[in-house]
Structure formats: structure tokens, C-alpha cells
Amino acid sequence: MNSHVVWMLCAALLAWTSPAPAQPPPAQLKRGALNLTLPQALRKAAAASPRLTAADRTIGMTEGRREQANVLPNPTLSFDVDNFAPGGSVPGQPVETTLLLSQLIELGGKRDARVAAALGDYDAARLEREATRLELFSETTIAFVGVLAAQRRIALLDRHVAALERLVPLMQRRTDAGASSPAEVARVQTAVGFARVERERTRTAFAVARRELGVLMGLDTPDFATVSGDFGRLSRPAPFETVVKAIEDNPQLTRWTAIRARRDADLISARLKAVPDVTASVGWRRYSDTPESALRLGVSMPIPVLDRNRGGIREAQELAQRTEAKRAVNRLTLIAVVGKAHDSANGALHQIDLLRRVVLPAARNTLSTVEAGYDQGRFTVLEILDAYQRVADAELMEHDALASLHISLATIEGLIGSPVVLAQARGK
């Protein structure tokens, strides 16, 4: 998978580069801090991630292992002196000096099998690195959505609090004129207090989400105040069957092909271990009692009678079979995760459609009617507070559904490794 596709993976999710009105940062953030977009967050996360650094080092280790696997055994040089000290059954026996060079010759293709195993390790490490990168991008996108969602929720609650606060002086004037009781003012003030508490909770959630995103970007302290993105834009995932087919190209699954190649090479090596290797030697021998010397040649090999590595072969066979089973487990896990995300995305889309088509227009119309009739005495303070709360609840439900949609899409795209959007509806 090339870098262009990977960068498209999450950037296509929400068209984050579309500038949305930035929300004012909380008071505790420094003035002049950055406004972050998703592409910037992805670049910083990729540059600062220790997981990718560790994956790169793993690839380097396997490259070294592959290089070493192709190396021939070193020759052996030996020096022997016979009859060096007096003694033995033949007194005065001459001293014999031998210089011997030996070389192990691997038979049966052992080196090729060793190289194939190292190559399988290298391919698996490379694909594992790709899987780690996709996982990092998905996590960063989800964290970005969390910050953007909390930021937008604060803006919604600011609007709700302001709307309720405008009721307080109105209630107070009606109370002073004798048209309402003090209890009605207290009810409105209580509603304002609950809305403020919810806003403070959301500000805390924003701070936590912001810090989590900063950690993914390698920052001890976040250097951005706000994030920007088109939160209201809708994207529909591909059909589930298409997504399942795309799962097969996920590096988490394709790496098992490399792992199986490594296991097959291990099995070949285990079988070849029963094939004896030959040690050839050539040497020079000098006799102390004569001016003559001799050339010595030798060949040796073990006799595979007692140990034919049957246990090692069985172990390698079981490892190869277990690899297939573990791949099947990994595939089912990915399908379960992507299925849950797919269902969540479609469910969120249905909720958003219902809220935008039916619930929000009805709630806003009701609020307008109640506001217009309240001054005429046709509605009570409880009814106007209920109308405000219905609008607030509907807007927050739409907000939560949007957040669920974008998180689900980020999860899907992180698992299949490419954008899966088939159609995009008009944004809010």
C-alpha cells in the first residue's frame, strides 16, 4: 500500500480540511494556539509515533537475519601434535605435527530453507508495520473526532445556556408585575444551572480528548487550542459484503501469508536436519624423524540412526497448522469489529435522517409557538422550559449520532486500509 492511499484513508472521512467555524477555546488555553486539521494531526502522529519507530527497527532486525541466513559456515583450522610428551608403549616414537583445514558442507538445501524462513520474517515485519500505521491513523482520526465532537458540543451548550439565560430577566419582570410566581424564576434558574453543569462536564471531556490526541501526536502538552472539520457532513459506507472482501487486503491478514511461508520454511529445515552434512578436510603432516611430509585428506559425516529429528518435524508441522487457525481467528475478529462499526454507521445515518427530517423541525416549531404564546399567557413556564429542553435534546442527539457515524467510518477505513465511501450526502 503506497503512502498516497494511506493518507487518503482517513482524510476522505470527513473532508476535514473544509474550514468549519472554529469554536472559541476554553479560557485555560493559551491565546494564539494553533487550530488543528486532521491532515496535520496525521502527519504529526506518523512522525512522532514510537510504535512506527519500533516497527522500523523490527524490519531492520529481519533484514539482518535475512543477510545472515545466506552466509556459509566458517572453515575450521586445527593444529595437532602427536607424541609430544615421552611415554606410551613405544619409546622414542617420532613427533608428528598436523595442520588441518576443515569445511562443513551443508547438503539438501538447508541454506535455502534458512533464507526462506528469514525472508518470511522480513515480509511479516513489513506488513506488521503497515498494519501498525493504519491502526495509528485510525486511532488518531477517532481521537480527532472526539476533540471536534466535544468542541461542537460546547458550542451547542453555550447556545442552550444563552437561550435559557434570556428567560431569567423575562421571568423576573413577570414576577415583579405579579403575572408569575417566584417559583417560575427558580425553575428557570435551575434549568440554567443544569445546562451550565453539563457544559462544564463537556469542557472537561474536551480537555481529556485534546490531551489524548496530543499524546498520539507525540506531545506532552497539546499545542493546539481548537480543531476544525466539517462535522455535519454525511458519508455512507460501502455495502457490508464489499467491506468484508476488502478485509482480506488488511495487512493484519496478509501478514499471515508471510508467517505461513516462514512456518513452511521451518518445516523444510526440520526435515532437512535429518540429512547429514559433510565435513571435508585437507591437511599437511610433518614427521620429525624424517625430512618428509604428507598430505592428508578427510571426509566425515554423522550417521542419522539415533536422531532423525522426528520430534522437530512434528513441532514444525503443528506450528504451520496453527498459523492457519490463528489467521482464521484474526479474520473473524476483524469481521466482528468492522461489522459492529458498519451497523453503527448505518444506525447513526438513520437516526440523523429521522432527527433532521422530523424531530428537529417539529421541536423548533413547537418552541417558536410556545415562545410566541407565552407572553399572551397561553403557556406556562414549565411548557416553555420543556420546549427548550426538547430542542436541546434533539440537537444533542443529532450531535451524538454524527460523532458515532464519524468514529464508525474511521474504524472501518482503518481496518480495510482504504476509503470505503460510496456516496456523500449534502452536509448540514
Tell me: the pLDDT tens digits for 244-261?
998 888 898 999 999 999
Residue of 268, 299, 269 lying closest to 283 (CA atoms): 299
Average the pLDDT over each of 21-35, 320-334, 372-386 and give the range with the smallest value: 21-35
> Which is higher by pLDDT, 428 or 80?
80
Evaluate if residue 340 carries a pLDDT over 60: yes
> Which is higher by pLDDT, 394 or 376?
394
pLDDT of residue 86: 61
Residue of 226, 230, 208 lying closest to 41 (CA atoms): 226
Q: Which domains does the chain have, with CATH numbers?
A: 3-85+92-425 (1.20.1600.10)
**Taking residues 88-116, what's their average pLDDT?**
85
pTM: 0.80
**Taking residues 42-55, what's their average pLDDT?**
94
H or E element, residue 224: strand 224-227
pLDDT of residue 287: 81
Evaluate if residue 170 carries a pLDDT over 80: no
- pLDDT band per the 50, 70, 90 thresholds, residue 426: very low
- Which amino acid, 165? E
- pLDDT band per the 50, 70, 90 thresholds, residue 14: very low
pLDDT of residue 88: 53
- pLDDT band per the 50, 70, 90 thresholds, residue 423: very low
Q: What share of the chain has pLDDT > 70, as a percent?
A: 86
Kind of pairing between the strands at 293-300 and 278-287: antiparallel
pLDDT of residue 82: 82
Q: What share of the chain has pLDDT > 90, as a percent?
A: 60
Cell of 386: 420543556
**Taking residues 223-243, what's their average pLDDT?**
89
> Which is higher by pLDDT, 287 or 117?
117
**Taking residues 207-229, what's their average pLDDT?**
93
For residue 29, give every residue at least 6 positions away whose Cβ sits within 8 Å of its Cβ, in sequence order, or none: 225
> Which is higher by pLDDT, 79 or 290?
79
**Taking residues 168-177, what's their average pLDDT?**
76
Question: Please, which residues bridge with residue 298 across strands?
Answer: 281
Cβ burial of 220 (10 Å; 0-12, 13-18, 19+) is exposed
DSSP 8-state assignment for residue 36:
E
pLDDT in tens, 103-150: 999 998 999 999 999 999 999 999 999 999 999 999 999 999 999 999
For residue 94, give every residue at least 6 positions away whose Cβ sits within 8 Å of its Cβ, in sequence order, or none: 83, 287, 288, 289, 290
Nearest-angstrom CA–CA distance, 117 and 115: 5
**Taking residues 187-209, what's their average pLDDT?**
93
Evaluate if residue 1 carries a pLDDT over 60: no
Evaluate if residue 74 carries a pLDDT over 70: yes
For residue 118, give every residue at least 6 positions away whose Cβ sits within 8 Å of its Cβ, in sequence order, or none: 62, 65, 66, 68, 69
Residue 141: C-alpha distances to residues 7, 18, 352 (Å): 11, 15, 21
Nearest-angstrom CA–CA distance, 164 and 155: 14
- pLDDT band per the 50, 70, 90 thresholds, residue 171: confident
Phi, psi (rounded to 5 degrees) for 103: -140, 125
- pLDDT band per the 50, 70, 90 thresholds, residue 6: very low
Cβ burial of 42 (10 Å; 0-12, 13-18, 19+) is buried
Helix (H/G/I), strand (E/B), else coil: 257: helix
Give me the torsion for CA of 204, 210, 216, 218, rounded to 10°: -110
pLDDT in tens, 18-48: 333 334 444 444 444 589 999 999 999 999 9
